[in-house]
Amino acid sequence: MKHSIKRTLNFGTAWFLLAIASTFVLAGCVAKAPPSEPNSAASIPLELFKASSNCAACHQGMKDSFGNDVSIHTEWQNSIMANAARDPYYFASVRMETQNTPQYAEAIEEKCATCHAPMALFTNTAAEEKTLLLGEQGVLAEEHPIYELAVDGVSCAVCHQIPANPADNLRNSGDLAIELDLSKGERPIYGALPISEQNVTIMKAASGYTAVQSEHVRESTVCASCHELYLNYIQADGTMSTGEDLFYEQTPYSEWLASDYTEKFTCQNCHMPPADGAAPISNITPDNLVDPFARHTFTGGNVFMLNVFKQFGEELGIPGSPAGLDEHILRTEELLQNETATVFVSGVEQQADTLTFNVDIEVLTGHKFPTSFPSRRAWLHVTVSDAQGLVIFESGAYDETGKIFGNENDDNPLAFEPHYEIISASDQVQIYEPVMKNILGEVTTIQMQAAGYLKDNRLLPSGFDKQNPPPVSAVIGNALQDATFTGGSDTVMYQVQTSGAQGPFTVQVDLLYQSVSYRWSQNVLDSQTEEAQTFGRMLEQTGNIPVMIASHIAESE
């Protein structure tokens, strides 16, 4: 990649701006630290991390060549990454897990904190202390001395301190490899862009970090540190599995590695889109322009939670503005609708009283769709209408709670909908999803019980060979034998009885996506914890309407 660097700011001006910025930075960057016992996390110097407010002083008020605001801090603070430790569904899920296996409560909370509240976790680790998330003693209690670090989620000083990954040993499952024994002034902050000695000096004075250029921050392995997650699970005797006996909870990195995208795009290319033209890397050096400039939007697919953040922003302490959240929701919807998948109805044919047609899906993502946390699902909503517009067939209808009509799992927590090659009845629904199983082979949404999958027919990226998949990301269930389900596509045949109806017939197909599926939300609500009640109240007011990914309409002759 080429970078265009233009340096015109003189050294005296830089130091003048630095003095102003430093005053602002140092006023709000330190977490609360009242007097405490010598060995507590509250008593050690919080030099491993600075909250994002420290970075905001220099990395906001930035515009690209077309005048668009591309401020790093402003765009980041509206993302799911920034609010990873404010998510009410996350709170309720963690509490459900600890309620279900209280003997492992501390281990669960500490593991979950690794990627949702990493600055608090590593600060405690350096102090040789455990990390609790919830309750009066948890780091997410406002009175906790490192609350400001905990609630800052996946912040600037986390990702930019992750070192390069060894070529022969992919770090995963929260192994961020952040150095814990370096003092203030020695701690590196990695960035991909060239940096002058002048700017190194400015940044070190303002933040305490030493800026180091390293291309590895553009590599997908940085994201794999958390987004390639393997977990131990509860065995039949109630003990935890050990060693390599693991549940592969999410594996988008391995999915990407098995696709055609490895030579074309990284995670950052899609989820940190480039600005329109050149942009500065800070407001201290506004004329040092970079092209391409990676925007720190971290656009994903969780529109549902973004809507919760918007509606309950004040209660949840969401730092972004309602207008900023609106922009991020729009970006997320555009990503889902333009860079995820397409659908096309083909082969519409009427024979006697049977209307036959195919639904063809082309996958545009560089990993499975959906990917990551296994609460996510996509499905086909198909309707057939007669000449008068009367619906004579419908598969995949849903309500505002997110429940899919005809889906076995939404009606019965111990059942699930299989993968279909042919659909001929309204109670058959093609749902692309992972379905977890416990050690007894029963359906579960409890992660600590999950020992594997009963079904994984999530749509595959182009180039993915389902017969030779990564060991951590196999196709499981009927889709493995479906000849039309392959890397980059799937085809489902529909056979609809039309007896008594008058054509021509109109076929409409919608590909829908849901980040928290009905069964996953219901099981959390059934736990009846305080966190579940809070989430339930927010869910009821927000609703759980799926996102339209793609749509197509065709007519019979």
| Amino acid sitting at position 522 | Q
> What pLDDT score does 464 carry?
98
Res 509: pLDDT: 98
Residue 92 has pLDDT above 90, yes or no: yes
Q: Is the peptide bond preceding residue 166 cis, with omega within 30 degrees of 0?
A: no
Q: Which residues, 6+ apart, have CB-to-CB distance to 304 below 8 Å?
A: 514, 515, 516, 542, 544
Evaluate whether 381 touches 395 at the Cβ level (below 8 Å). Answer: yes
Residues 6 or more apart in contact with residue 530 via CB below 8 angstroms: 95
Is residue 36 predicted with pLDDT exceeding 70? no
pLDDT at site 284? 85
Query: What pairing do the DSSP bridges indicate for beta strands 210-213 and 188-191?
Result: parallel
| Mean pLDDT in residue range 349-363 | 97
pLDDT, mean over the chain: 91
Can you read off the two tokens belonging to residue 10? 């003189």
Contact 450, 471 (CB under 8 A): no
Phi-psi domain of 452 (left: phi exceeds 0; alpha: psi -120 through 50; beta: other): left
CA nearest to 95, candidates 107, 113, 109: 109
Average pLDDT, integer, range 122-131: 94
**Contact present, 105 and 134 (Cβ < 8 Å):** no
The angle that helices 518-526 and 88-100 make with each other, rounded to 10 degrees, is: 60
386: its two tokens: 């007669």
- As beta bridge partners, residue 279 has 290
Q: What is the pLDDT of residue 186?
A: 87
- Residues 135-176 pLDDT 10s: 999 999 999 999 999 999 999 999 999 999 987 789 999 999
523-535 residue pLDDT tens: 999 999 999 999 9
**Each residue of 394-426: pLDDT tens digit?**
999 999 999 999 999 999 999 999 999 999 999
What pLDDT, on the 0 to 100 scale, is given for residue 298?
Answer: 97
Which residues, at least 6 apart from 18, have a Cβ–Cβ distance to it below 8 Å? 202, 205, 206, 284
CA angle (154, 156, 162) in 5-degree steps: 80
- Residue 212 contacts by C-beta under 8 Å, 6 or more apart in sequence? 188, 189, 190, 191
**DSSP, res 275:** P
Length of the chain: 557
In the DSSP assignment, the letter for residue 404 is B
| β-pair type (506-514, 547-555) | antiparallel
| Mean pLDDT, range 187-191, rounded to an integer | 94
What is the token pair recorded at 221? 């392995």
Residue 42 amino acid letter: A
Residue 41 has pLDDT above 70, yes or no: no
Residue 45 above 50 pLDDT?
no
Helices (H) then strands (E): counts for the chain = 18, 17
Q: Which of 28-32, 279-283, 353-357 is the most confident on average?
A: 353-357
Model confidence pLDDT, tens digit, residues 292-337 = 999 999 999 999 999 999 999 999 999 989 999 999 999 999 999 9
In the predicted structure, residue 12 carries a pLDDT above the cut 50? no
DSSP string, 86-147: T-HHHHHHHHHHHHH-GGGHHHHHHHHHHHHSHHHHHHHHHTT-----SSTTSTTSTTSTTH
Quote the CA–CA distance of 107 and 98 in Å, as a whole number: 9
Rounded CA gap, 304 and 336, in Å?
Answer: 13
Non-local (6+) Cβ contacts of 153 within 8 A are 81, 82, 83, 84, 85, 86, 116, 117
Does residue 85 contact residue 142 with C-beta atoms inside 8 Å? no
Residue 477, judged by CB atoms within 10 A of its CB (0-12, 13-18, 19+), counts as middle
